[in-house]
Structure formats: structure tokens, C-alpha cells
């Protein structure tokens, strides 16, 4: 089973080079659209940034369980002792780190999808198979991202 999967990956790699994808499909094959990277980075930064206050409280509860017993009382105590801005500690590194990670993951996935579909179509043509490519190109693109 593992050898068959390895052979499949090697066959895909042989026909999925960016140069062959670009020459076979023209401008529509490998288009690096910055909107994918911007969307991925923005969404990841926002979704992780929103949870930063919860993460601050959780970390305090883990580091000092005697003082911070549960979520709501711990949140109130942090605000009382340090002010509301204490709940935003670590926000900037969170936004930057997850923004970069989301941009790369989503951007690479979206760029890889057409390349993987094209590679599977070429492989189907070489093997004289008819029908669509199925979900495998999308799985391969997600693994590459």
C-alpha cells in the first residue's frame, strides 16, 4: 500500500512541475493571487486575536490555580488588579504569528490546488483513464500547504 502511494506521488511530481503546469494551462494554471494570502492572514489573525483574552486568563489559571479558580472570577480579578488592558497581553505577537501562518497556509493551498488538479489530469491522460480527478488533488494540495 505504501509503495503504491509512493509511486503515485512520484508520478504526480513528474508531471506537476510549475513549468509544465504553466505551459499546459497558460495563465489560468498557476496564478499566484495575493488575495488568497491576504484573506488567509487576515482571517487567522482575527480569529486568534479574538481569543487572546481567554488565553491570558487560561494561562493565569494554569500558572496560579489557587488565586484564579474559574474563568469569570479570574477575568474579573485580572481586570480589577491590572486593568482591562492586561487581557490583551501577547496580542501583537499573536496577530503577527498567526497572520503569517494563515497567509502561507491558505495562500499555498489555493495556489497548489490548480497545479495538483492539472497533474492528476495529465496522469489520467497518460494512463488512458476517463473521468474526473476526484478528491485526491485537493488532498495533495492540503498536504503541501
- Helices marked H in 26-145 — which ranges? 34-50, 52-63, 71-82, 91-126, 136-144
Percent of the chain whose predicted confidence (pLDDT) is above 70? 77
If residue 3 lies in a helix (H) or strand (E), which one and from where to where? Answer: helix 2-15
**What would the grid cell of residue 117 be?**
488538479
Q: Summarize pLDDT for 22-44 with one digit per residue, the tens.
A: 444 444 456 688 899 999 999 99
Say what the pTM is. Answer: 0.65
Q: Summarize pLDDT for 79-93 with one digit per residue, the tens.
A: 999 999 999 999 999
Q: How far is CA 143 from the centre of its chain?
A: 10
Going from the C-alpha of 119 to that of each of 112, 127, 144, the distances in angstroms are 10, 12, 14
Q: How confident is the model at residue 99 (pLDDT cuts 50, 70, 90)?
A: very high
Are residues 137 and 54 in contact, defined by beta-carbon separation less than 8 angstroms?
no
Amino acid at each position: 500500500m505504501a509503495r503504491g502511494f509512493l509511486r503515485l506521488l512520484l508520478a504526480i511530481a513528474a508531471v506537476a512541475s510549475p513549468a509544465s503546469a504553466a505551459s499546459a494551462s497558460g495563465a489560468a494554471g498557476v496564478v499566484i493571487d495575493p488575495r488568497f494570502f491576504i484573506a488567509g492572514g487576515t482571517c487567522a489573525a482575527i480569529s486568534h486575536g479574538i481569543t487572546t483574552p481567554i488565553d491570558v486568563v487560561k494561562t493565569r489559571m494554569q500558572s496560579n490555580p489557587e488565586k484564579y479558580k474559574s474563568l469569570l472570577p479570574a477575568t474579573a480579578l485580572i481586570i480589577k488588579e491590572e486593568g482591562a488592558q492586561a487581557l490583551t497581553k501577547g496580542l501583537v505577537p499573536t496577530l503577527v504569528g498567526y497572520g503569517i501562518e494563515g497567509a502561507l497556509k491558505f495562500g499555498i493551498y489555493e495556489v497548489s490546488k490548480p497545479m495538483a488538479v492539472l497533474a492528476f489530469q495529465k496522469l489520467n491522460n497518460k494512463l488512458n483513464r476517463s473521468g474526473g480527478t476526484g478528491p485526491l488533488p485537493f488532498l495533495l494540495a492540503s498536504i503541501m500547504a
